[in-house]
Amino acid sequence: MKTPFVTAEQLRSIAERYPTPFHIYDEKGIRENARRLKRAFAWNPGFREYFAVKATPTPKILKLLHEEGCGLDCSSLTELMLAKGCGVRGEDVMFSSNDTPAEEFEMAARMGAIINLDDITHVDFLKNTLGYVPQKISCRFNPGGMFTVGKSHEDFQVMDNPGDAKYGMTRSQIGQAFCRLKELGAQEFGIHAFLASNTLSNEYYPTLARILFQLAVELKEETGCRITFINLSGGIGIPYRPEEPAGDIDLIGEGVRRAYEELLVPAGMGDVALCTELGRFMLGPYGHLVTTAVHEKHTYKDYVGVDACAVNLMRPAMYGAYHHITVMGKEQLPCDHKYDVVGSLCENNDKFAIDRMLPKVDLGDLLVIHDTGAHGFSMGYNYNGKLRSAELLLREDGSVELIRRAETPDDYFATVVW
């Protein structure tokens, strides 16, 4: 059973002021979770979370996380601009990109961001673009093969086969890249890898850590490079389904600590700082998509039509991903009606739920679609001329703040040349 972080009474009041659909985020939950993560890795004095901006590129959310000590992980020019606009710059920004245009490297360097190179060819591309390489730099590693630790969810298919992934360098390439970067003047080095998406196992991070810690020891010996940080990236997941167990961040942190003490400390690398770039874990459970039932249809199946659609949350349409749904005010009623919950796009995959057992849904009911705080609003689009929704923040004191207004037709047509 999943419980919304807002009550039916609160939502009815909010919806009177801000028409559905909208995404709403829980400030209290976000802050508490950021502090949990920090405590779990407090044993590593240099630990830093670099929140993955792509998950929730909303300035008020980014500022809130920065207040909690988080940096930002950016992957494009506009994400760098967003970080800068939030007052986050310098080594508070990690720039992890691929197939990167020169102008993006230039802006990252101007901001003083830590640049994370995806490919060996980017070493000289960066040198030719900037005229130098930064003194502190990172490279992304891809070990190849399959990686199955923690496989847990429908969209795991996105990143469970490093050998087929477009990201990162081979083992031999990362060694060559370190040597070339050192030759060009780099003095501090980092290692990064991202091998799996939305894992629920407490073993994923410790397993990845062992791979990267062993690699760090080998690269130090082979190249003489001074490795000062290791980025464990993202991949810690959330339980989208009520029956799924949540990972234990304290156990995860302890597992990484054991690997650190077994591999890095004996190699004289006990001062290496750890980084993470979590998105889903940081924000996923602390966002809801709120929508209203506006139509019902009874043909070969029973349908509930809502005023949100896949442009507000594309994960179910794109991945077949599960998102739990609560019919507000009917939380205690039996789930004895089977529905497809659908939006209004002219696409048959525009379904938030298929054959979902819910209480009887009446027109006007408010539905909460859970776990949309990451990769929810951010993956929105304008297909069928649909407009992106508003974003709201439920403050710790119970007040609600508009943090992004809903798009209007004027926004949609703003770039058109008639």
So which residues are the catalytic ones?
A: 346
Give the HSE-up count for residue 163: Cα atoms under 13 Å, Cβ half-sphere.
Answer: 5
Angle among Cα 25, 30, 34 to the nearest 5 degrees reads 160
- Give the C-alpha separation, 281 to 373, whole Å: 9
Tokens 């979590």 correspond to 278
Instruction: Name the strand (E) or helix (H) holding 133.
Output: none
DSSP assignment string, 266-328: GGT-TT-EEEE--SHHHHGGGEEEEEEEEEEEESSSEEEEES--TTT--HHHHH-----EEET
Q: Which residues of 42-52 are buried (b: 16+ CB within 10 A; e: fewer)?
A: eebeebbbbbb
Q: Residue 95 contacts by C-beta under 8 Å, 6 or more apart in sequence?
A: 73, 74, 75, 80, 104, 105, 108, 113, 114, 115, 116
Burial level of 249, CB count in 10 A (0-12/13-18/19+)?
A: buried
